[in-house]
Amino acid sequence: MSTYSFWRFNDDSKIDIVDCVHHAAEMGFDGVEVLQMQMPREDNDYLQKIKQAAHLEGLCLMGLSTHQSFISTDAAKRRENVQKTNNSIELAYRMGIPTMRVNTGRWGTSKDFDELMANRGVEPRLPGVSDDEAFGWVIDCLGSAARRPRSAG
């Protein structure tokens, strides 16, 4: 179960990940995917609280879902998003999470998320950019993230 599924579970309020872990256990799930953008902070104390809650509930933290965008004509922005991905890899490592779901980005041509969803996730390309060029950026960025230095811990 992804913590995203509980984010606005009852009254449209953003439920804390630790509470999501408890809800997942009550519902009989075996594992939890943590939505990184749902995390209010990324300090070690909070990471260990998430880990402890999962352990006490008998659930595995099986995935970390991340959000970044490698689809940009700006090479510096793509490098920033590679660094963001490297940070996510480090968070997963510190929580003992073995897998990540990496959202590689979108064109960003929708005015907001509601418009994107109304169009079933389909957006027009950036002017002058081909799908092949964008796929190349994604492949290069993922390759850079995969070659990141190992954790010193």
Give per-residue pLDDT as tens, 47-100. 999 999 999 999 999 999 998 999 999 999 999 999 999 999 999 999 999 999
Q: How much is the pLDDT for 76?
A: 97
User: What are the φ and ψ backbone dihedral angles of 86, each rounded to 5 degrees?
Assistant: -60, -40
* Structure tokens given for 76: 């510096």
Q: How much is the pLDDT for 148?
A: 66
Q: How much is the pLDDT for 13?
A: 73
CB of 18 closer than 8 Å to CB of 45? no
Q: Treating both helix axes as pointing N-terminal to C-terminal, what angle do 44-57 and 17-26 enclose, rounded to 10 degrees?
A: 10
Q: In Å, what is the CA distance from 134 to each residue of 31, 83, 94, 103, 149?
A: 33, 18, 31, 14, 25
For 30-146, list the strands marked E by DSSP.
Answer: 31-35, 60-67, 100-103
C-alpha 80/C-alpha 68 separation (Å) is: 9
pTM comes to 0.85
Q: How much is the pLDDT for 84?
A: 94
C-alpha 104/C-alpha 106 separation (Å) is: 7
- Residue corresponding to tokens 């630790």: 18
Q: How much is the pLDDT for 150?
A: 59
Give per-residue pLDDT as tens, 5-61. 887 666 667 788 999 999 999 999 999 999 999 999 999 999 999 999 999 999 999
Q: How much is the pLDDT for 149?
A: 60
Q: Which CATH number does 3-146 carry?
A: 3.20.20.150
Q: How much is the pLDDT for 151?
A: 55
